[in-house]
Structure 1
């Protein structure tokens, strides 16, 4: 009894292992199909092939389990037929969906789809003719295979790490160059800012000097114009006085104080006016001129009568020019 129980337990263990291997093959087939991006009947084809492989493995191990080969074969054929029908339906439904979108598009895509169907059919035939590879269940072999796979993954990861480190190093160098470039640009900006401020100050000084120079030149021009106008007025006044207010024929006046002293020479009206104007401009706080014997009395009376000059309020021998400019 104990031997029969052990045989049953061993058979159950083997069945579980076969089921696990079949599921693993189905998962691998589905992952391979997702990577390749195939659509339509590709998943059904992979599933069909996995079922064929699992059934072949069951047949190969049926001798040890003492199962009925006819039952296994019938089950295998029925499952394969079902999957084959599903695969064909998927292929033709894919073709139908593509052809029902647009007539013009279908005319172009139909040859491609038919070529795809032929390629899938030939691939199915190849997978049917191919005998599935049965992996060994020896723990030592599995350990060696696992170590090789881990070694390959390790090498890939080491290569990836090397590439990432090289890229990081390159990025660090680029970052240092960018920082250096930024520092240089800041220095250039600061230098340009200083030059701008200095230039602005120089422009302001130059503009101020130019304005001052322009104002000074304008004042000089005005002064020159006034001098020329003054000369013209003086010349016109001299001509007018010489024409209308000539000196008497005897230009010498007798001295009133003493008859022994020599006679004093009279001065013209122009000279009297020039003395009055010069006194008013040079000493405006004391603009009075003393009247002496050289002033011809008719000229003095005329200046006083017509309001051109006036006497001192306390001294009758002094007079001044009226302040016409005030």
Structure 2
């Protein structure tokens, strides 16, 4: 059943005749609705013992009524053109308000998309500039690479090797100075100790310095990395060997205590 709703302002704009006709039509519809309601109450079946069966019957009745209403064409409750025009105006105003809300939402969404588009365009421009700079750098490197000859590469390599040799010699000299200052060779004992230990003095003549021991260990590791162990003979002063082992600079061979190697430093 269609329903006509008019607000106070809309009803005030109607003529008395139109208002009377509208009120009369509403009273007739309400009377018909009350009549149908009373008939439904009288036709209400008594409560059966099986609630499930009653629910199924109600569902079937509702489906039948729905099919019937689908076949009925809607009719206007009133044919007064003045009432219909006023109702149409009210519906149009409501529709316009809804459309304004839709337009407002779409404008906000459009502004958001426009902002996102500007950010994306800015990001794209930055990426293009970065790509151009990278391409220029690659071209410059390729040009420089083409200009370099084998002779210049060889000279550069030789210069680097010479620098490494000089740096290595400086490191070895610095190591020798440190060892000479803080770890003097066994021959540099005091005169009193030499007088008390004549036999030891004779043995010390063939001993090598700590610098030489470290050099032997390093050369062994570099020259024969598969066999980095050095045999400890009479030229190795025992305190030197014990100091290297105690401070983790060298380690003994697991199967031969007379062999040591330089510790692997990571």
Q: TM-score, normalised by structure 1?
A: 0.31
The higher relative CO (CA closer than 8 Å, separation ≥ 6) is in 2
Q: TM-score, normalised by structure 2?
A: 0.38
Looking at CA atoms only, which structure, 1 or 2, has the larger radius of gyration?
1
